[in-house]
Structure 1
Amino acid sequence: MVLVPGYRFLPTKLNTSSWKLDKQIRRNLEDLIGRRKGGSVIIDEERKTDEASAHAAAKDLLGLMINAGVSGTRRTGPAPAEISVRDIVEECKTFFFAGKQTTSNLLTWTTVLLATHPEWQERARKEVLQVCGSRDIPSRDQLAKLKTLGMILNETLRLYPPAVATIRRAKTDVHLGSYNIPQGTELLIPIMALHHDTRLWGADAAQFNPGRFVEGVARAARHPMAFIPFGMGARMCIGQNLALTEARLTMALILQRFSFRPSPSYIHAPTVLMLLYPQYGAPILFRPLSSCGFHPGTVS
């Protein structure tokens, strides 16, 4: 994949579709926020609204953001500025796409890769059955012991990161390598390009090889910051640990119960529409292990 500067501003078919989708999502969120604002209960001195009612109106994240900064909703200290509708929309988009769609994409690509690499699927299944058993829901401690599955998830994130790039803005003038970066300059960090760079990952950078993570993330490449699917620094994805835990648990449950392979109709065509996803879907054929004559108790 080649990132062309300014490409995201061109009215291509893909960009037009992305813009249309973004407008639709924004409009739906604004409508939802408007309805919630109209029905929300706010404490003020004149209306003497019951505090318990106000608390009930703000019991979820959206309600908390709507009521944040409104006079009277804080017992002590100065009230912060009210969050604008635009800011609430952006926060909702962040929580939805970063908290749900990215994990969904990780599970999709992991399933595709294990379906097309049955040897790694069997290695992961053997580990899951040894550590977690054949039917029990894995505990947190058991999930932490699934080293092979962790390597597979990391390799999936390397090959198919949810975000192909991220943007950072220089807070001060900075000297970066041979470049002078003025304050306020926006820098695009090409995550996808970094993850596929043969200078960092070796000649097999385009190949699925979870074994490269056997000594951990820091030693997987020739530079410790070559692997950044969740970003880096102070603005690193806050949901990284949750996303990886969800993915480990879901994949462990699938491996306990099913074998799977790609459907003959599967077409490998990764594409970007906000996130990196399979353009033609990911049809996978699942088969219960019990119907394969597989007996988990015999695994050694």
Structure 2
Amino acid sequence: MGEVFFLWVVVVLMGLGVGLVKAWAVVWWRPRMIEAHFGKQGVRGPPYRPFVGNVREMVSIMLHASALPMPLSHNILPRVLSFYHHWKKIYGGTFLIWFGPTPRLAVADPELIREIFFSKSELYEKYESDPLVRQLEGNGLLSLKGEKWAAHRRIIAPTFHMENLKALIPAIGQAVVQMVEEWERESPESDSGERDIDVSDRFQRLTGEVITRSLFGASSYEDGKEVFRLQSQQMTFAAESFNKVMLPGYRFLPTKLNALSRRLNRDVKKSLAALIQKKYAAIKQPGRNDPELSQEDDLLGRMIAASERSATLSPDSGNGGAAGARFTADDIVEECKAFFFAGKQTTSNMLTWTTVLLAMHPDWQEAARAEVLQHCGSRAVPTKDSIHKLKTISMILNESMRLYPPAVAAIRRAKSDAMLGGYRIPAGTELLIPILAVHHDPRLWGNDATEFNPGRFADGVARAAKHPMAFLPFGLGPRTCVGQNLALLQAKIVLAVILQRFSFRLSPSYRHSPSVLMLLYPQHGAPISFKPLEPSHGSRRRSS
């Protein structure tokens, strides 16, 4: 009996020893080896600290920057990516930082960005989002990898071709007109007829409405609206959690917030599955066998039709067939979640910052209004024929996304040992691409890099900067955002209708405070003072 007990103790101690050795290797030995590896290549960074890496310093730098008052300036890099701005001045544009024991290489050189996103993209995979974000964005194009991602992309991408999206213009226009008519009914707050409206809040509501109409169409609109009301609650809870100090495993704790978030996630999936089944049944009705004729002009119908044409969708199927090739009803559920999360947040933020910029720069606001009145008239919603004529608005949107990109950074992970330019990158190293820093780099954009100048896009995106990889608001390469055409189409319609009906300026209560909470947003909202234009304004403009 004593010998058995002794052997048991030896086994336990050996197990503890092995665990301690592995832990020591992860939190001490490997980071030191990687620091030395990059040091030999001339890459430095703030020193690694066991367990926490540089997170404590990062948080301290960012808290200090966000506490300082922000002038009315577009030079937002020192505030928004303060840790990058601080360490770049010390270590140069390519430097090493640590998220716990995980190495992260900051890369802002456009030639290296070309390799990461284009020529060697197969070596780098998408970084896994925080679990709270994953729950919101779904297990779709935003988060999938490998063959399954490629299969989903092939099926879904045609849905977002501009020719297909033009059918959504009436639904988008209806939602936008309803919004501005509500604004017109609101009581003026001054004798001049101005009314203050927080466009950040209003555009979130609008983009949620538009994505619901676009995704589900007229027949399932009310059901879809209820589904996305639940997902909006999820977003609120995620934002609350991001404002707290997150501990490993926090989401598993039996808190009221976590329990409610999990219930909402189950309800969203269940409701979406029912909507998809309803749409699928309608398509399969007798006499409606042509997939081009058996669906409405909505994205859900087009996804189902596309999957039918490729013979990959079966509502009752399992996971058989070629790896990653099957596109099931569950897959469509996840893609619907992704469309709502990304479509709502990205487009609303783009519209918010563009409106703020036009309020700050009345000369460009007038130029955009003149273009809209010329091509669309004083009250008509833009049509598929007039949308492509709004060149000035396209330039303004591009400049807005350059100065205030929705996502301020992107992260990729080396799947194996790789060469990046002249750097040897160990497997598992994360690559931080500071999109905001690239967009504000004077070497790429000139001495006016932090100034609002839409004219730099007059000859198109490719010629706007000194390097074609300098502009990446929707990402680059194979994983470029599939919904960018829809986001830009929606933004053009919204801006055109607003410019037809209002002139606007920053409200006296506006506080310039760009901040990051998943995406770039105005921390204190975006109150704008709107003044209605007379309906005859457009005719006078066209005749002048």
Q: TM-score under structure 2 normalisation?
A: 0.45
Tell me how far 1:285 sits from its aligned partner: 1.2
Q: Which has the higher contact order (CA 8 A, sep 6+)?
A: 2
Say if 1:14 and 1:273, in contact at 8 Å, map to a contact too: no
With over 3 angstroms needed to count, the CA separation of the structure-2 counterparts of 1:77 and 1:252, relative to structure 1, is same
With over 3 angstroms needed to count, the CA separation of the structure-2 counterparts of 1:36 and 1:96, relative to structure 1, is closer
With over 3 angstroms needed to count, the CA separation of the structure-2 counterparts of 1:15 and 1:265, relative to structure 1, is same
Unaligned runs of 5+ in 1: 43-50
> What residue in structure 1 maps to residue 383 of structure 2?
139
Tell me how far 1:30 sits from its aligned partner: 2.8
With over 3 angstroms needed to count, the CA separation of the structure-2 counterparts of 1:40 and 1:103, relative to structure 1, is closer
Tell me how far 1:194 sits from its aligned partner: 0.8
> What residue in structure 1 maps to residue 265 of structure 2?
29
Bigger Rg over Cα:
2
With over 3 angstroms needed to count, the CA separation of the structure-2 counterparts of 1:138 and 1:81, relative to structure 1, is closer
With over 3 angstroms needed to count, the CA separation of the structure-2 counterparts of 1:280 and 1:183, relative to structure 1, is same
With over 3 angstroms needed to count, the CA separation of the structure-2 counterparts of 1:34 and 1:157, relative to structure 1, is same
Answering whether residue 243 of structure 2 is matched by residue 16 of structure 1, we say yes
Q: Which amino acid aligns with 2:82?
A: V
Tell me how far 1:156 sits from its aligned partner: 0.3
Tell me how far 1:99 sits from its aligned partner: 1.1
Tell me how far 1:134 sits from its aligned partner: 1.3
Match of 1:2 among 82, 85, 89: 82
CA deviation profile, 1:56-80 (whole Å, cap 9, x unmatched):
9xx995x989xx7765489x96797
Determine the C-alpha separation between the residues in 2 that align with 1:103 and 1:18. Answer: 28
Tell me how far 1:181 sits from its aligned partner: 2.2
Determine the C-alpha separation between the residues in 1 that align with 2:376 and 2:507. Answer: 28
Determine the C-alpha separation between the residues in 1 that align with 2:487 and 2:387. Answer: 13
- Provide the secondary structure at the position in 2 that maps to 1:188: strand
Which of the two has greater helix per residue? 2
Match of 1:249 among 477, 480, 493: 493
> What residue in structure 1 maps to residue 502 of structure 2?
258
Tell me how far 1:16 sits from its aligned partner: 3.4
Unaligned runs of 5+ in 2: 1-80, 85-96, 101-128, 131-239, 252-256, 286-294, 308-312
Tell me how far 1:109 sits from its aligned partner: 0.7
Match of 1:284 among 506, 525, 528: 528
- Provide the secondary structure at the position in 1 that maps to 2:534: helix
With over 3 angstroms needed to count, the CA separation of the structure-2 counterparts of 1:175 and 1:26, relative to structure 1, is farther
With over 3 angstroms needed to count, the CA separation of the structure-2 counterparts of 1:129 and 1:2, relative to structure 1, is same
Following superposition of structure 1 onto structure 2, how do residues 268-279 of structure 1 map, counting pairs within 5 Å? 268-279=512-523
Tell me how far 1:296 sits from its aligned partner: 3.0
With over 3 angstroms needed to count, the CA separation of the structure-2 counterparts of 1:165 and 1:30, relative to structure 1, is farther
Determine the C-alpha separation between the residues in 1 that align with 2:363 and 2:314. Answer: 55
Say if 1:268 and 1:278, in contact at 8 Å, map to a contact too: yes
Say if 2:315 and 2:329, in contact at 8 Å, map to a contact too: no
Following superposition of structure 1 onto structure 2, how do residues 99-178 of structure 1 map, counting pairs within 5 Å? 99-178=343-422
Tell me how far 1:39 sits from its aligned partner: 11
Say if 2:506 and 2:527, in contact at 8 Å, map to a contact too: yes
CA deviation profile, 1:150-184 (whole Å, cap 9, x unmatched):
11000000011111111223345432123112344
- Provide the secondary structure at the position in 2 that maps to 1:267: coil
Q: Which amino acid aligns with 2:479?
A: R
Tell me how far 1:2 sits from its aligned partner: 2.7
With over 3 angstroms needed to count, the CA separation of the structure-2 counterparts of 1:26 and 1:223, relative to structure 1, is farther
Determine the C-alpha separation between the residues in 1 that align with 2:276 and 2:336. Answer: 18
Answering whether residue 441 of structure 2 is matched by residue 197 of structure 1, we say yes
Say if 2:503 and 2:532, in contact at 8 Å, map to a contact too: yes
Report the identity percentage.
56
Determine the C-alpha separation between the residues in 1 that align with 2:364 and 2:507. Answer: 18
Say if 1:151 and 1:214, in contact at 8 Å, map to a contact too: yes
Q: Which amino acid aligns with 1:279?
A: Q
Tell me how far 1:31 sits from its aligned partner: 3.4
With over 3 angstroms needed to count, the CA separation of the structure-2 counterparts of 1:54 and 1:268, relative to structure 1, is same
Say if 1:70 and 1:82, in contact at 8 Å, map to a contact too: no
With over 3 angstroms needed to count, the CA separation of the structure-2 counterparts of 1:91 and 1:160, relative to structure 1, is same
With over 3 angstroms needed to count, the CA separation of the structure-2 counterparts of 1:39 and 1:182, relative to structure 1, is same
With over 3 angstroms needed to count, the CA separation of the structure-2 counterparts of 1:41 and 1:198, relative to structure 1, is closer
> What residue in structure 2 maps to residue 236 of structure 1?
480
With over 3 angstroms needed to count, the CA separation of the structure-2 counterparts of 1:36 and 1:252, relative to structure 1, is closer
Give the CA RMSD over aligned residues. Answer: 4.0
